[in-house]
A and B are shown apart, each in its own frame.
Chain A
Amino acid sequence: MNNKFYILANKYKRKLGYFLLELESDLEHKSEPRYVIKWENKLEIDDAALQIFDKGTEKDKDKWIVVSYKSIHVNTYTVFVVDIESSRIQFRHDNYQLWESPVLGFLNNYQNDFIILNKEGTSFLPLGTVEKRAIYNPDGTERMVHSLTSCDYLKISESNLLTFERPKQDSNNRKVKIQEQQTDTEANTYYDDIYQVNIDEMTLRELMVVYSIFTCDSAIDIVDLIELQPNPKLFQKSFMELDQSNMIQIMAFDSRIIKTLLEFDCEEEDDETADSPIFYKMRHVLEDGTYYVSALNVALENNQIRALNLIINYIVEHQNNYAFFFLFDDIFLELMKQGISVTRLLESDILTHEFDVEEYPAIHQDNSYLIKPYNGSIFQLKGTYSQVFTNFANSGGEDEDKEKKFYKIKYTLNLLPSVTYQNGESILMNELMDILGNTEELEIFRTKAVEDFFTYQWENYAKHLHYFGGFVHFVYVILFFIYCDQVFNERNYDNRVILCWLMLVCLIYPMVYDFLQLKKTGLGEYLADPWNYLDQGHIWFGIANVFIQRTSSNILSKES
Chain B
Amino acid sequence: MIIVALLLLVKTFFFLRIFKELSFLVTMIKQVISDLRVFMLFFVILLFMFAMVFSILDLNQYVYSDDPSIRAVVNLSSFSGQEYLHINKFLANMFTVYRISLGDFDFGASTVLDDFQNGMYWFCWALIVTVTCIVFLNFIIAEVSASYQNVKDQVDVFVLQERGQLINESEDMLRARFGKEVISKWNHLFPKYLIRREIDN
Contact, CB under 8 Å: B172 / A412 = no
Q: Which of B33-63 contact A (CB under 8 A)?
A: none
Q: Which residues of B contact A389 (CB under 8 A)?
A: 197
Q: Which residues of A contact B199 (CB under 8 A)?
A: 367, 369, 407-410
Contact, CB under 8 Å: A462 / B4 = no
| Option from A411, A442, A469 in Cβ contact (under 8 Å) with B15 | A469
Interface string of A378-413 (1 = CB under 8 A from B): 100000000011000000000000000001111111
B176 at the interface (CB under 8 A from A): yes
Contact, CB under 8 Å: B188 / A373 = yes
Number of B residues, CB within 8 Å of A:
50
Given contacts A372-B194, A374-B195, A517-B173, contact A545 B1 (CB under 8 A): yes
What's the minimum C-beta distance from B135 to chain A, rounded to whole angstroms?
A: 31
Q: Which residues of A contact B197 (CB under 8 A)?
A: 368-372, 389, 409-411
Q: Which of A421-468 contact B (CB under 8 A)?
A: 421, 425-427, 429-430, 433-434, 436-437, 442-443, 445-446, 448, 450-454, 456-458, 460-463, 465-467
B157 at the interface (CB under 8 A from A): yes
Interface centre among A410, A429, A454, A470 (most CB of B within 10 A): A429
Contact, CB under 8 Å: B172 / A374 = no
Interface string of B1-38 (1 = CB under 8 A from A): 10111011011101100100000000000000000000
A520 at the interface (CB under 8 A from B): yes
Contact, CB under 8 Å: A461 / B172 = no
Interface centre among B11, B15, B164, B170 (most CB of A within 10 A): B164
Q: Which residues of A contact B174 (CB under 8 A)?
A: 461, 465
Q: Which of B153-201 contact A (CB under 8 A)?
A: 154, 156-158, 160-161, 163-177, 180, 184-185, 187-200
What's the minimum C-beta distance from A509 to chain B, rounded to whole angstroms?
A: 12
CA distance A425 to B189 in the complex (A): 12
Contact, CB under 8 Å: B157 / A442 = yes
Main secondary structure of the interface of A (DSSP, over half): helix
Q: Which residues of A contact B1 (CB under 8 A)?
A: 484, 545, 549
What's the minimum C-beta distance from A217 to chain B, rounded to whole angstroms?
A: 46
CA distance A241 to B170 in the complex (A): 52
> Which of A77-85, A187-195, A298-306, A533-541 lies at the interface with chain B?
A533-541
Contact, CB under 8 Å: B190 / A411 = no
| Option from B4, B173, B200 in Cβ contact (under 8 Å) with A513 | B173
A90 at the interface (CB under 8 A from B): no
Q: Which residues of A contact B161 (CB under 8 A)?
A: 436-437, 442, 445
Contact, CB under 8 Å: A373 / B194 = yes
Contact, CB under 8 Å: A413 / B190 = no
CA distance A461 to B170 in the complex (A): 8
| Option from A410, A430, A453 in Cβ contact (under 8 Å) with B171 | A430
Contact, CB under 8 Å: B10 / A534 = yes
Contact, CB under 8 Å: A446 / B3 = no
A124 at the interface (CB under 8 A from B): no
A414 at the interface (CB under 8 A from B): yes
Residue of B nearest to A463 (CB): B18
Interface centre among B173, B187, B193 (most CB of A within 10 A): B193
Q: Which residues of B contact A416 (CB under 8 A)?
A: 194
Residue of B nearest to A429 (CB): B171
CA distance A453 to B161 in the complex (A): 12
CA distance A461 to B158 in the complex (A): 21
Q: Which residues of B contact A538 (CB under 8 A)?
A: 4, 7-8, 10-11
Contact, CB under 8 Å: B185 / A516 = no
Contact, CB under 8 Å: B196 / A375 = no
Residue of B nearest to A353 (CB): B193
Contact, CB under 8 Å: B195 / A413 = yes
What's the minimum C-beta distance from B21 to chain A, rounded to whole angstroms?
A: 14
Q: Which of A475-519 contact B (CB under 8 A)?
A: 476-477, 480, 484, 513, 516-517, 519
What's the minimum C-beta distance from A526 to chain B, rounded to whole angstroms?
A: 11
Contact, CB under 8 Å: A520 / B172 = yes
Contact, CB under 8 Å: B196 / A371 = yes
CA distance A375 to B5 in the complex (A): 48
Closest 4 CB pairs of A and B: A373-B191, A433-B168, A426-B190, A462-B170
Which residues of A does B touch, CB under 8 Å? 367-375, 378, 388-389, 407-418, 420-421, 425-427, 429-430, 433-434, 436-437, 442-443, 445-446, 448, 450-454, 456-458, 460-463, 465-467, 469-470, 473-474, 476-477, 480, 484, 513, 516-517, 519-521, 531, 534-535, 537-538, 541-542, 545, 549
Q: List 27 A-B contacts (CB under 8 A).
A: A369-B198, A410-B200, A411-B196, A412-B198, A417-B190, A417-B192, A430-B172, A436-B164, A442-B157, A448-B196, A450-B160, A453-B194, A454-B167, A457-B167, A457-B189, A460-B188, A461-B189, A466-B166, A467-B18, A473-B11, A473-B15, A484-B5, A516-B173, A516-B177, A531-B14, A545-B3, A549-B1
